[in-house]
Structure 1
Amino acid sequence: MCIPMLSTAASMDFDITASRSPQPAWSAPQEPIDVGGRIAQLRADHGWTLQQAARQTGVAFSTLSKIERHELSPTVTTLTKIAHGMGLTLSQLLESPRPPMGMARRSLSRASETKSTATGACDNAVLCSDLKNRRMTPIRTRVRARDLSAYEEWARYDAEIFLTVLKGTLILHSQNYEPTRLETGDSIYYEASTGHLWTSEGDEDAIVLWVYAE
């Protein structure tokens, strides 16, 4: 599984049938998250060189450099290492630079405005990214991978995951359990500290909505 820079337009083919009420004047469109730029800015805020950031996060110098230059879309595992090395949660790392919102917090992600990036194994779109200090990160993912060779490593991080399959058939692979087959409408909750990966089964890409909670 992987989270992108979120700087290019999505190509999701959902059928949106629910009626929509007018958008409030104060609710600005959700901006794409420039993960590479965000990491570069945070590194500069710490006063770190790329070499120092690599030592602090445990992520290779070359990998950090490519992420900051928008040449590589990092996986969730890599982003979690970077976040923790910088003293942040993944949700804090992925926050959009928005002004603070009021106490009655809410965030709206329009289908036409949500951005996504293809990473080879999957396309991801972080939803409602403008809220600060979130306890969970909602993500919509199209799983393009058909076998484990599409991934460089097992995803593993200190978090809990809930997911539901919106479309297609998803296979959840785990280093501790036999592969689990999930059909449209099926849901699962699991600890992400165990190595795990997702693949689609059949000709159709599986599309899932999942929540990452640290």
Structure 2
Amino acid sequence: MEEIQKKIGEKVRALRKMRRLSLDQAAVRTGVSKAMLGQIERGDSSPTVTTLWKIATGFQVSFSSLLQEDESNISIVNKHSVPPVIENDGKYKVYSIFPFDPIKKFEVFWIDLLPGCLHESEEHHEGVEELITVSRGTLTVSMAGKEHDIKTGESIRFQPNQPHCYHNKGDEVVECHMIIYYP
């Protein structure tokens, strides 16, 4: 089996699974027979350009996306290589470590709050979740009139469907990692 056939087959299978389609449904959507799609997914067939165009059109992806190499499944990001968004007179710094991915439905941030920082955040859409782990200092999260002190090594998970605040009441920098999940 040729390597390119295998890679195309893996991509076609991944696209079909991501869209939660059976082979029959994918055949209707693409105009490529169920048998041919099965052969392509297994790497048993080398699809023609016409067949690849049908698949790309049916799955609403670019033709070249079926042929290009996958990105490495390993990403290393150095916080200092990411330009931060800075607010509150430089006391609140947000580094977008892994930006939002519409397929995975989450984004990851590194946040530094300097001493005395009080950052107010608006409510998010219904169903959104924030997960925060403090790696240094104590972060006070306030919501609905209640304060939660999250210390080094602790984490909090909540639905930010109302205004909420992050506060560094201490005298050292608070470092935390935030994941925002969008259902």
**Alignment of 1:204 onto 2:144:** no
Superposition RMSD on alpha carbons, in Å?
A: 2.7
Any conservation in 1 of the 2:134–2:176 contact (CA below 8 Å)? Answer: yes
CA distance change for structure 1 residues 147 and 141 in 2, over 3 Å: closer, same or farther?
Answer: closer
**Alignment of 1:174 onto 2:143:** yes
Aligned to 1:128: 98
How far the C-alpha of 1:101 sits from its partner, in A, is 6.6
C-alpha separation in 1, matches of 2:146 and 2:100:
37
Identity in percent = 14
Partner amino acid for 1:138? V
Which has the bigger relative contact order, CA under 8 A and spacing at least 6? 1
The gaps in structure 1 that reach 5 residues or longer are: 1-99
C-alpha separation in 2, matches of 1:164 and 1:191:
15
How far the C-alpha of 1:199 sits from its partner, in A, is 0.4
After superposition, what is the alpha-carbon deviation per residue over 1:5-62, rounded to whole angstroms, capped at 9, x for unaligned?
xxxxxxxxxxxxxxxxxxxxxxxxxxxxxxxxxxxxxxxxxxxxxxxxxxxxxxxxxx
CA distance change for structure 1 residues 187 and 101 in 2, over 3 Å: closer, same or farther?
Answer: farther
Aligned to 1:143: 113
**Alignment of 1:165 onto 2:134:** yes
**Quick check: which has more Rg, 1 or 2?**
2
| Structure in which a larger fraction of residues adopt strand | 2
Partner amino acid for 1:183? K
CA distance change for structure 1 residues 157 and 131 in 2, over 3 Å: closer, same or farther?
Answer: closer
Alignment of 1:33-72 (within 5 A): none
* Equivalenced residues, count: 111
Any conservation in 2 of the 1:107–1:130 contact (CA below 8 Å)? Answer: no
177-186 or 139-148, larger mean C-alpha shift: 139-148
How far the C-alpha of 1:213 sits from its partner, in A, is 0.6
C-alpha separation in 2, matches of 1:130 and 1:202:
31
The gaps in structure 2 that reach 5 residues or longer are: 1-67
Where does structure 1 differ by over 2 angstroms across 4 or more consecutive aligned residues? Answer: 103-108, 128-134, 144-148
CA distance change for structure 1 residues 189 and 119 in 2, over 3 Å: closer, same or farther?
Answer: same
Aligned to 1:49: none
Any conservation in 1 of the 2:134–2:150 contact (CA below 8 Å)? Answer: yes
C-alpha separation in 2, matches of 1:131 and 1:213:
10
How far the C-alpha of 1:143 sits from its partner, in A, is 1.7
After superposition, what is the alpha-carbon deviation per residue over 1:164-183, rounded to whole angstroms, capped at 9, x for unaligned?
001111100002x5101111
C-alpha separation in 2, matches of 1:112 and 1:118:
14
Partner amino acid for 1:135? K
Q: Report the TM-score, using the length of structure 2 for normalisation.
A: 0.52
